[in-house]
Amino acid sequence: MGVMKMKKFARFFLVGAVIIIFLSANASLAALEPDSVKSVWAKLAKTAGIDPSAPIAVVDQKEPNAWVSFSLNKYSITVTKGMLELLDSEDELAGVLAHEIGHIKLNHYGRTVTRSILWGLLFRKVGSSSGIDPLDIGYALAESGFSREQEVEADDYGIELAARAGYDPWGLVRALEKMKEAGYETSPSGFNSHPPTDRRLIHVRNKAAEVSTRY
């Protein structure tokens, strides 16, 4: 092969390599596909010892969110398209979904129902002598306080579970950081069910650092 042909080949090869690198970089920044939810959930559910065949829905909602819905002894999982567009990796998705599994494994639904009944009975006894229905206040205060505790428990469980399933324990941390950067955060308030975002991030960073030493 002549010198000119060698130079042209080298230039062509270099341009091709740059294009491949560029496409690979952009692919890593692309939104996660809905099928990722099913595959990540199945892996986490198997590790946690729960039914991996629970119904999963991806809804057309721009806000990044994910939640578990309970009906009797069954549950279903919902993830918004906004969440899939915000996250960059399955490690981050695993952190979010493992948090939701935490609510299931830690029986937060059953505990919440029992607690709501008890608070309702307590506040109805003192509700007749006031112009404000203390039942409403009781529910709000009780559920906000206890729900924060449950969210922290689910965070801790989820980080551990994600690591046991082979995912990066820092996935939930990065997911929460991205939600904050996108403008979705919880402010300090007695009526918010989730802990304030900054305080929550401090906790999950410490937990992820601790779990990372064991996996």
> 128-162: per-residue pLDDT in tens?
554 545 444 444 444 444 478 889 999 999 999 99
Pick the residue with more confidence: 75 or 47?
47
3-state class of 203 per DSSP?
A: helix
Residue 56 confidence class, pLDDT cut points 50, 70, 90: very high
Count the residues in the chain.
215
Between CA 86 and CA 79 the distance in angstroms is 12
User: Residue 99, class by beta-carbon neighbours within 10 Å (0-12 exposed, 13-18 middle, 19+ buried)?
Assistant: buried
Mean pLDDT of the chain: 77
How confident is the model at residue 122, as a pLDDT?
56
- Judging by beta carbons within 10 Å of its beta carbon (0-12, 13-18, 19+), is residue 121 exposed, middle or buried? exposed
What are the Cα distances from residue 200, in Å, to 57, 147, 171? 27, 13, 14
**Which residues sit opposite 79 in a β-bridge?**
58, 66
Residue type, 111: R
